[in-house]
Amino acid sequence: MEWTSILYPALSIGGLGIVFGLGLGVAAKKFAIEVDPKVPKVREVLPGANCGGCGFAGCDAFAKAVVEGKAKPNGCPVGGSDVAAKVSAILGIESSDDVKKVAFVKCQGTCDKAKEKYEYVGVMDCKNANFLQGNGSKACEYGCLGLGSCVNACMFDAIHIIDGIAKVDEEKCTSCGMCVEACPKNLIDLVPYDNNVRVSCNSNNKGKDVKLSCDVGCIGCRLCTKVCEFDAISVENNLAKIDYDKCTMCMKCVEKCPTHAIIVKEQEK
Amino acid sequence: MELLLLFIGAVLVNNVVLTRFLGICPFLGVSKKVETSFGMGLAVTFVMTLASLISYLVYKYILVTLHIEYLYTIAFILVIASLVQLVEMVIQKSSPSLYQALGVYLPLITTNCAVLGIAVINMQAEYSLIKSIINGFGTAVGFTLAIVILAGIRERIQFNDIPKSFKGYPIVLITAGLMAIAFLGFSGLIK
């Protein structure tokens, strides 16, 4: 076997590669388009999984969208808060959204606890049912209809209808906010993942009306505001509201709440 | 006259998509709108014509001279991949909207079997330089013709009342099949 039989192929193909490579290099310089210098920087700190979990075509598209302000710095579900902090640093903005948030369904009105006004037979879609008489079949017009519009909206399989109401799987939730938009009752909020104490009711009805329709609704009795030492709970429109910045999770309100509308996260599991 | 016949033959009779069934992926993927399909056709035309030219030169003056013809596949792929990169840069610079619309199908020209197929057919048929370029260009025009026609049809059937089971790609594939039968009618054009 002659040595040229290896040398020639190697040289010719290698040479072709070098020539084309140089040509492309020159062309890349000549046809270079101006990109925001932040884009490649953002792209570098992203995980590079190109999973599309952010709702964009890939990490490149997401980086572009972030720099253009079309996506949030914490929009990458894979990267989590680490990546969010780095992206925020590159963009030069405060990473205020650093706290991991999860979607939370403000309703406990399961089949046995909440009453129904009538039997709903129809399309399994909350928006549709919400147009009907009395805003759906639930006795509480603020409560979860349990027809799964949020389930369909969730791309991460993080929300399910359990016992007639929507429940969020907080480990899978990426706080993308799709379910928040999908819910016609505005039942779903993004709340801090670390804060266990939450008001699990959305009813602005008066205490008496709440009692009539649901066993676990907030009746606006203000016992929680009196017991809270940190001024973290307020009652507006007959509904308790927790200020998560002030809440220390002392659990006093949870113990005091007569209808158990204020819950600890672990309890719901 | 011979060159004209070769050109018409490449466009109509031996249409790369509808007769040889090469390059089906962009044919089905980018044929939703006439505008983008025409852009795709132009990109493929540029790549295919230049690939015919360069692969001829590479084959004739490098591979044959050095008696390493067996390397033609890898050499042609090298040529095509570089050209596609070049086209991508040019389109990104000149028409960002087209770049967006073509999306992943633009880099996929690299693995478009039609481009490599024409380079190999040119080599096997032992066409001269002029004939190679004409054949490459004609084939690409045939590809553009087919994809633009399909895109036109798809734009029209979009709002038609199609049975559920035929919606989406099934009806597109049936349309493509009917187009192939129609193009079969050209086979008598050239002996």
User: Which ipTM score applies to this complex?
Assistant: 0.75
| Confidence (pLDDT) at B175 | 92
Residues of B in contact with A32 (CB under 8 A): 93
Residues of A in contact with B97 (CB under 8 A): none
Q: What are phi and psi of B190, to 5 degrees?
A: -130, 135
3 state SS of A159: strand
pLDDT band at B153 (very low <50, low <70, confident <90, very high): very high
Residue A115 exposed, middle or buried by CB count within 10 Å (0-12, 13-18, 19+): middle
| Confidence (pLDDT) at A266 | 60
Do A8 and B86 lie within an 8 Å CB cutoff? no
Kindly tell me if the per-residue pLDDT of B135 is higher than 80: yes
Burial readout B121-138 (b: 16 or more C-beta within 10 A, e: otherwise) = bbbeeebeeebbbbbbbb
**From its phi and psi, is residue A265 left (phi > 0), alpha (psi between -120 and 50) or beta?**
alpha
Residues of B in contact with A12 (CB under 8 A): 62-63, 66, 68, 71, 75
Nearest CA in chain B to A17: B78
| Confidence (pLDDT) at B180 | 92
- Amino acid B169 reads Y
Joined together, the tokens standing for residue B6 give 């070769």
Burial readout A87-108 (b: 16 or more C-beta within 10 A, e: otherwise) = bbebbeeebebebbbbbbbbbb
- Tell which B residues from 93 to 122 touch A, by Cβ distance under 8 Å: 93, 96, 103
Q: Which residue has the higher pLDDT, B95 or A55?
A: B95
| Confidence (pLDDT) at A95 | 56
Residues of B in contact with A13 (CB under 8 A): 71, 74-75, 78
Q: Is B77 on the interface with A (CB under 8 A)?
A: no
Joined together, the tokens standing for residue B74 give 């890898």
- A51 labelled ligand-binding: yes
Kindly tell me if the per-residue pLDDT of B131 is higher than 70: yes
Only one residue has tokens 């101006």, namely A34
Only one residue has tokens 């672990």, namely A266
Rounded Cα distance between A210 and A222, Å, is: 15
User: Measured over all CA atoms, what is the biggest interatomic distance in chain A, rounded to whole angstroms?
Assistant: 99
**pLDDT tens-place values along chain A, 269 residues long:** 688 888 888 888 899 999 999 999 998 888 877 777 888 888 888 877 776 667 777 788 888 888 887 777 777 776 777 787 888 888 777 655 556 778 888 888 888 888 888 888 888 888 888 888 778 888 888 888 888 888 888 877 888 888 888 888 888 887 777 888 888 888 888 888 888 888 888 888 888 888 888 888 888 888 888 888 888 888 888 888 888 888 888 888 888 888 888 888 764 44
| Confidence (pLDDT) at B138 | 94
- A54 labelled ligand-binding: yes
CB pairs below 8 Å between A and B: how many?
A: 46
- A111 labelled ligand-binding: no
Only one residue has tokens 């086209």, namely B87
Rounded Cα distance between B180 and B174, Å, is: 10
| Confidence (pLDDT) at A94 | 63
Distance between A17 CA and the closest CA of chain B, angstroms? 7
DSSP secondary structure of A186-253: --EEEEETT--EEE-----S-HHHHHHHBTT------HHHHH-SSS-EEEETTEEEE-TTT-----HH
Kindly tell me if the per-residue pLDDT of B148 is higher than 90: yes
Q: Helix B129-157 crosses helix B169-184 at what angle (to 10 degrees)?
A: 130
User: To probe the interface with B, which of A33, A36, A60 has the most B CB atoms within 10 Å?
Assistant: A33
User: To probe the interface with A, which of B54, B56, B58, B62 has the most A CB atoms within 10 Å?
Assistant: B62
Residues of A in contact with B103 (CB under 8 A): 57
Residues of B in contact with A8 (CB under 8 A): 66-68
Joined together, the tokens standing for residue A165 give 């109401």
Nearest CA in chain B to A22: B82
Residues in chain A: 269
User: To probe the interface with A, which of B57, B63, B82, B105 has the most A CB atoms within 10 Å?
Assistant: B82
Closest residue by Cα to residue A91 from A133, A36, A141, A138: A36
- Tell which B residues from 22 to 61 touch A, by Cβ distance under 8 Å: 58
Only one residue has tokens 């090469």, namely B22
| Confidence (pLDDT) at B129 | 92
User: To probe the interface with B, which of A5, A6, A13, A39 has the most B CB atoms within 10 Å?
Assistant: A13
Rounded Cα distance between A10 and A3, Å, is: 11
Of B78, B85, B89, Cβ closest to residue A17: B78
**From its phi and psi, is residue B145 left (phi > 0), alpha (psi between -120 and 50) or beta?**
alpha
Joined together, the tokens standing for residue A174 give 């990426």
Distance between A34 CA and the closest CA of chain B, angstroms? 9
Kindly tell me if the per-residue pLDDT of B101 is higher than 90: no
Do A12 and B68 lie within an 8 Å CB cutoff? yes
Closest residue by Cα to residue A42 from A70, A75, A64: A64
